[in-house]
Amino acid sequence: MKKIYIQDHSTITGAGKWIYEGYKKAWESLGYEAEYIYGEDKELIEMIEKANRKEEYSFMITDGFYNLLRCVRFPEEVDKPYSESLVKTKIIDNSKAIYMFSQPTNFPDPWGTHPNFVSACPHDVIDEINQIDNVKSWTWGDFEKVKDDFYSSWDKINKIPLAFDNISYEYLEDEKYKFDVCFVGGRANNGFDEKYSIMMEHFSAFKDSSLKCGFFVGRNLTHEQENKILFNSKVSINIHDAYQRKLGLDTNERTFKSLGLTGVLVSDKIEQINNLFPDVKTTNDAKEMVKFVKEYVNMPEKELQKIKTENRKLILEKHTYTNRVKQLLDL
């Protein structure tokens, strides 16, 4: 069986945990044996053995994880340069592919001052990565328009947006979770904590709207609760961080989850959403967001259900993590 080693994100907080869980299940659905990797010696030894046996395996890692692998030396090779180490000559060179999530080398202030937004690899390491034939670099943002400004050190970056984990989420009906409008997410402090004020502005506009609101921020809901809230609500809203609003390069996973489960989404204004889903209503005006939601809520049920069915179908056909893995395999 083909093997994919995926950098472990299961112990972190935030969306990354669920994004990579979605990817793991997607790989498995396509017949791969998927395993999280931590970079421990025993894992690396197993990979060396696979390389010696010519078994097929690939990686799905970040550029920062690659940079950590460069530091690994087995006891008998502590003085060897990376180019001669077993990690390089056996593990990296003999893998079928390295699907590497690559961060920009430069990012606008103030966000570029925080390590969340820039590559952990020095320029010489990126130069090295550019020379490795089996590395397939990708990111989920519309990097093309900022390639020269943000990704100038990288030779080629492929755009693969986020997606919906249709394997983990199901259509679960439950009367207790029927809201006119819902939001499930976290505060997502990226070091600047700009999203909190944006969320409060929008939630405040819904306070006197007479709508039945199910807004759950940082509530640590179970997977089943989140599933039921999103599926049974009439409309989902989405709110992004300040840098996403300004730059427009990417959208969060909630976009795909909302369309895949709720089927109707009203979002703040994000360029990638407008490009991927031109029929989604977007606005940065909190009062206008309430207006858009009410328009959907007050629709005849049959008309609303038709929109929901079409959007769910679109997501399942084009925007699941299985779709994204197929895109990676085609690189």
* pLDDT of the chain, 331 residues: tens digit per residue: 899 999 999 888 778 889 999 999 999 999 999 999 999 999 999 999 999 999 999 999 999 999 999 999 999 999 999 999 999 999 999 999 999 999 999 999 999 999 889 999 999 999 999 999 999 999 999 988 899 999 999 998 999 999 999 999 999 999 999 999 999 998 878 888 899 999 999 999 999 899 999 999 988 888 899 999 999 999 999 999 999 999 999 999 999 999 999 999 999 999 999 999 999 999 999 999 999 999 999 999 999 999 999 999 999 999 999 999 999 999 9
On whether residue 167 sits in a domain, the answer given is: no
pLDDT for 12: 81
pLDDT for 311: 98
pLDDT for 47: 93
Pair (127, 234) in one structural domain: no
Pair (37, 72) in one structural domain: yes
On whether residue 82 sits in a domain, the answer given is: yes
Pair (281, 199) in one structural domain: yes
Interval 279-288: pLDDT, tens: 999 999 999 9
On whether residue 323 sits in a domain, the answer given is: no
Give the 3-state secondary structure of residue 320: strand
Q: Name the nearest CA neighbour of 237 among 220, 247, 221, 209.
A: 209
Task: Please give the sequence-ordered ranges of beta strands (E in DSSP) within the chain, or none if there are none.
Answer: 3-7, 33-37, 57-62, 98-101, 135-139, 158-159, 181-185, 213-217, 235-238, 265-267, 281-282
pLDDT for 236: 98
- Count of domains observed in the chain: 2
Pair (276, 187) in one structural domain: yes
On whether residue 324 sits in a domain, the answer given is: no
pLDDT for 173: 96
pLDDT for 189: 81
On whether residue 254 sits in a domain, the answer given is: yes
Interval 165-214: pLDDT, tens: 999 999 999 999 999 999 999 887 888 889 999 999 999 999 989 999 99
pLDDT for 298: 98
pLDDT for 108: 94
pLDDT for 144: 87
pLDDT for 291: 98
Of 108, 126, 160, which marks where a domain is finished? 160
Pair (301, 239) in one structural domain: yes
R_g of the chain, CA atoms, integer Å:
21
Of 105, 129, 160, which marks where a domain is finished? 160
Pair (152, 245) in one structural domain: no
Pair (136, 196) in one structural domain: no
On whether residue 73 sits in a domain, the answer given is: yes
CATH number at residue 52: 3.40.50
Pair (111, 246) in one structural domain: no
CA angle 39, 45, 50 (to 5 degrees): 110
pLDDT for 163: 98
CATH number at residue 203: 3.40.50.2000
Pair (180, 133) in one structural domain: no
On whether residue 166 sits in a domain, the answer given is: no
CA distances from 136 to 11, 75, 98, 265 (A): 25, 30, 6, 32
Pair (230, 137) in one structural domain: no
Interval 144-173: pLDDT, tens: 889 999 999 999 899 999 999 999 999 999
Pair (114, 192) in one structural domain: no
On whether residue 272 sits in a domain, the answer given is: yes
The position carrying tokens 């505060």 is 187
Pair (61, 108) in one structural domain: yes
Q: Which domain holds residue 272?
A: 175-318
